Structure 1
């Protein structure tokens, strides 16, 4: 069931960017800004599913290959939805900003997603804890934000996300030519 729930959470950022692509971002700046903030809070869920491979350690020899295939399927789909959502945001940004600023923002968002994965996998927070347990969440954020472990994890996963994003863009450009 956790895979279904995690995939549902991974769909949310995709749906939000699909919605934003139909809007004029300058029309209702507050509403669109709120949608982007919610998108940013839920985006790490798309990439988080890849960490569900830790559950393979609970598999026995009979179910290992089934579990590997199942988790791989969900992780691939969630990651793909996240990459598509990032691509959509980059397109929206490129209409308003130059390419280097847009690329820097996408890289920063990737690092923030890595930090979101850290919050979920290591500290066991969920996206809705910002509303449900904000004081506990912000206290933990304050205590761990600049630790070597949190920074290393965030940068590693963020760079991985960004690397996959750039590779996928390269293949999409190559295929379209």
Structure 2
């Protein structure tokens, strides 16, 4: 009777895993790795409840206990068979969830790489401003003539370049230092 309930629980897990698999394989929706992990934890609890019965059911189904009639041993063989099927389902579900978790993490890595490319492109544009902006208006910090009537654009460009440079320097000063031996880490 208990083993038959295991089949119902395994079927419920199958439905949850199918819906998660559809989400992981869908390019439209972001996948919640926490949801996959939570289902994996629930499956582990189920596995801990199911697996210890295997040995006892195997011994009961073989009729090695004295006083167990042949009809009862046949019944236990049937129960052990159902238990074996549920156990195999649990193992396959665990493998599926591990694969989905890996795929979800890979999708997250791809998204983070795309984000980093965008951030790097903007940083490259911003890093050029302190150098290029003053030169676009013909200004050089050493040669700005403050008393000339056309000097205002030059002064604004030089000031904007200095402010931008100081902002970038401050941003880099607050950034964490890279870990020695791991140049790929920030």
TM-score range, shorter chain: 0.3 to 0.5
> Larger relative contact order (C-alpha < 8 A, sep ≥ 6)?
1
Structure 1 length-normalised TM: 0.41
TM-score calculated relative to the size of structure 2:
0.39
Structure of larger gyration radius: 2
